[in-house]
């Protein structure tokens, strides 16, 4: 058995959750915050049999879209002038971790 942790952008989270559940897998959702943009994410946790890991990962990949977003970047041009300009960054997609489960019980 494996435990899958998938960190997904909040924009994609409802679809990812629905598709994982529709495929017959149990999933737990937790709110999380990214460190770079401090934006909202959802972390999914799902315990699956070894042979089903790739199926869950494919669902996550299919419904977690990468997109570009403009974010303001503060800069100092000179000691007298302070301003900001937009910078394009890629957000979205999914970060996925798969770990072995040593023991599983349902109580």
pTM metric for this prediction: 0.77
24: containing domain:
2-100
How many domains does the chain divide into? 1
Q: Is residue 58 part of a domain?
A: yes
Q: Is residue 38 part of a domain?
A: yes
* pLDDT band for position 16 (cuts 50, 70, 90): very high
pLDDT of residue 79: 56
Among 106, 4, 96, residue whose Cα is nearest residue 48: 4
pLDDT digit string (tens) for 49-89? 999 999 999 999 999 988 777 776 665 455 555 556 677 77
Task: Spell out where 1-107 has E strands.
Answer: 2-9, 28-33, 40-48, 66-78, 81-92, 94-100
Structure tokens at 94: 């999914």
pLDDT of residue 40: 80
- Residue 23 belongs to domain with CATH number: 3.30.70.120
């Amino acid at each position: 058995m494996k435990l899958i942790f998938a960190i997904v952008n909040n924009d994609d989270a409802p679809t990812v959750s629905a598709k994982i559940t529709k495929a017959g897998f149990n999933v737990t959702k937790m709110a999380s915050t990214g460190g770079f943009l401090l934006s909202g994410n959802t972390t999914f946790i799902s315990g699956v049999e070894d042979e089903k890991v790739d199926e869950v990962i494919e669902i996550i990949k299919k419904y977690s879209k990468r997109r570009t977003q403009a974010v303001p970047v503060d800069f100092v041009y000179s000691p007298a002038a302070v301003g900001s300009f937009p910078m394009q960054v890629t957000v979205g997609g999914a970060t996925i971790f798969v770990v072995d489960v040593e023991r599983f019980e349902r109580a």
